[in-house]
């Protein structure tokens, strides 16, 4: 299962302890070395200096939002040394140029997909230059095609080997009880009858 990074923005951060929303996802913090979201900037009335959410603290991401144990999971920038160093790099995956090893310009990153269990980047979505956009307005390039990531561009193997398909997205199924999920009401025996169970005239 893959999730578009753009879908994460604005997602509620839900506290298991408070059984309510405590923040909102604002911006992903991506480690350029591992191509992985290591944390998120969050916002909200309850958030002051503790505006960093370590991705490891998220128990589940689904259409309901990001579930954490409590608001105590939110931290200040300097509380998480590794994350603090990545923030200082001011790295942003969106907007980077994408080129092949031969120097062919493919476009710019406009979005990317991640796995919601560890937020590792799996695909980058590239907007094509105007000249090439008539045939392929967007390219979906898998992680395996990426050769190098710099402050200014991403280098991929070869354009011919690029997979041109949209990312598949499905709902994440957690392995714990989530109080924010709505449960289906139990059906009565009468509601579960099949046509074969009813009397015919």
pLDDT digits (tens, 9 = 90+) for 58-104: 999 988 999 999 999 999 999 999 999 999 999 999 999 999 998 98
For the chain, the average pLDDT equals: 83
**pLDDT grade for 179, boundaries at 50, 70 and 90:** low
Asked which of 49-53, 137-141, 153-157, 173-177 is least confident by mean pLDDT, the reply is 173-177
- The residue that leads in pLDDT, 142 or 131, is 142
CB 164 within 8 A of CB 146: no
Q: pLDDT tens digits, residue range 5-18?
A: 999 999 999 999 99
How far apart are the C-alpha atoms of 123 and 167, rounded to whole Å? 8
Across 153-176, average pLDDT = 61
Question: Based on the number of CB atoms within 10 Å of its own CB, is 28 exposed (0-12), middle (13-18) or buried (19 or more)?
Answer: buried
Residue partners of 113: CB distance under 8 A and separation at least 6:
2, 3, 4, 5, 121, 122, 123, 125, 167, 169
- Closest CA relative to residue 177, chosen from 3, 72, 59, 73: 59
Q: Which pLDDT belongs to residue 166?
A: 46
Hey, what domains does the chain have and what are their CATH numbers? 3-89 (2.30.30.240), 97-161 (2.30.30.240)
Q: Which pLDDT belongs to residue 76?
A: 94
Q: Which pLDDT belongs to residue 138?
A: 86
Tell me the two tokens of residue 40. Answer: 């998120």
Across 148-159, average pLDDT = 89
Look-up of token digits 């390219």: 139
- The residue that leads in pLDDT, 187 or 103, is 103
How far apart are the C-alpha atoms of 121 and 124, rounded to whole Å? 8
Which residue blocks in 13-138 are alpha helix, DSSP H?
A: 81-89
Instruction: Evaluate if pTM is beyond 0.85.
Output: no
């Amino acid at each position: 299962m893959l999730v578009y990074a753009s879908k994460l923005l604005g997602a509620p951060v839900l506290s298991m302890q408070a059984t309510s929303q405590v923040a909102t996802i604002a911006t992903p913090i991506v480690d350029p070395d591992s191509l992985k979201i290591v944390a998120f900037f969050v916002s909200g009335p309850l958030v002051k200096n503790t505006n960093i959410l370590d991705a490891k603290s998220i128990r589940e991401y689904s259409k309901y939002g990001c579930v954490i144990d409590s608001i105590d999971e939110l931290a200040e920038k300097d509380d998480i040394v590794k994350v603090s160093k990545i923030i200082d790099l001011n790295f942003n995956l969106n907007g980077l140029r994408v080129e092949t090893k031969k120097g062919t310009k493919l476009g710019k990153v406009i979005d990317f997909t991640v796995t919601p269990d560890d937020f590792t980047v799996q695909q980058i979505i590239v907007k094509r230059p105007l000249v090439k956009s008539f045939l392929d307005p967007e390219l979906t390039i898998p992680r395996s095609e990426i050769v190098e990531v710099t402050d200014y561009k991403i280098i991929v193997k070869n354009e011919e080997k690029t997979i041109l398909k949209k990312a598949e997205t499905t709902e994440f199924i957690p392995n714990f009880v989530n109080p924010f999920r709505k449960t289906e009401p139990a059906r009565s025996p009468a509601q579960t009858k099949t046509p074969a169970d009813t009397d015919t005239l």
